[in-house]
Structure 1
Amino acid sequence: MPGAVHTMLREVMDIRQAAEYLGISGDTLYRYASEGFIPAFKLGNRWRFKRSLLDAWMVEKSGPHSSDISVMPKQKKPVRRAR
């Protein structure tokens, strides 16, 4: 069974598999899990992610009434005028 298909079928994923599933970096996923932003649990000292909980979380966050997500444009520093 190819790796990508195998990852899609697993209910409990490690951080690498979950990051691949979500399409984000492992570092970002680790930060999200540590901050409690994304559903995760620790098994021993390693983060684990249930696919069904990630799917439900994505549906919740992508819904039309989702107020937890706000994409803010990067703020530019004010330009000083020449004298």
Structure 2
Amino acid sequence: MPSAAQIALREVMDIRQAADYLGISGDTLYRYASEGFVPAFKLGNRWRFKRSLLDAWMDEQSGVRKPSAPAKAKPTQKKPVRRAR
């Protein structure tokens, strides 16, 4: 049986462990994972979270680090203007 310290240092966490790590409720984390807001993956039908990806995500969210792959901005298209009669 692993010790509490070994469990706390796991790289891959379940939803309860990750929610405790982030300091949010499991329900909130489940919603964030489902919406793609936090980095997560499914193993079978259960969400899993890599500690290193969560750390990088928190750094990006807090402005400590810039996103690793910035999204390309799409050029905006203007609506055609109707001429006045």
* TM-score by shorter chain over 0.5: yes
1:26 paired to 2:26: yes
Provide closer, same or farther for how the CA distance between residues 13 and 64 of structure 1 changes in structure 2, counting only shifts above 3 A: closer
Is the partner of 1:30 in helix, strand or coil? helix
Is the partner of 1:17 in helix, strand or coil? helix
Equivalent in the alignment of 1:78: none
Equivalent in the alignment of 2:13: 13
Q: Which runs of 4+ in 1 moved over 4 A?
A: none
Cα offset for 1:65?
A: 8.4
Amino acid at match of 1:57: W
Equivalent in the alignment of 1:48: 48
Between the two proteins, the alignment pairs up a number of residues equal to 64
* Percent of aligned pairs with the same amino acid: 80
Provide closer, same or farther for how the CA distance between residues 59 and 18 of structure 1 changes in structure 2, counting only shifts above 3 A: same
Asked which structure has the greater CA Rg, the reply is 2
* Separation (CA, whole Å) in 1 of partners of 2:58 and 2:16: 18
Amino acid at match of 1:46: R
Normalised by the length of structure 2, the TM-score is 0.69
Cα offset for 1:6?
A: 3.5
Map 1:61-72 to 2 at 5 A: 61-63=61-63
Structure 1: 5+ residue stretches without partners: 67-83
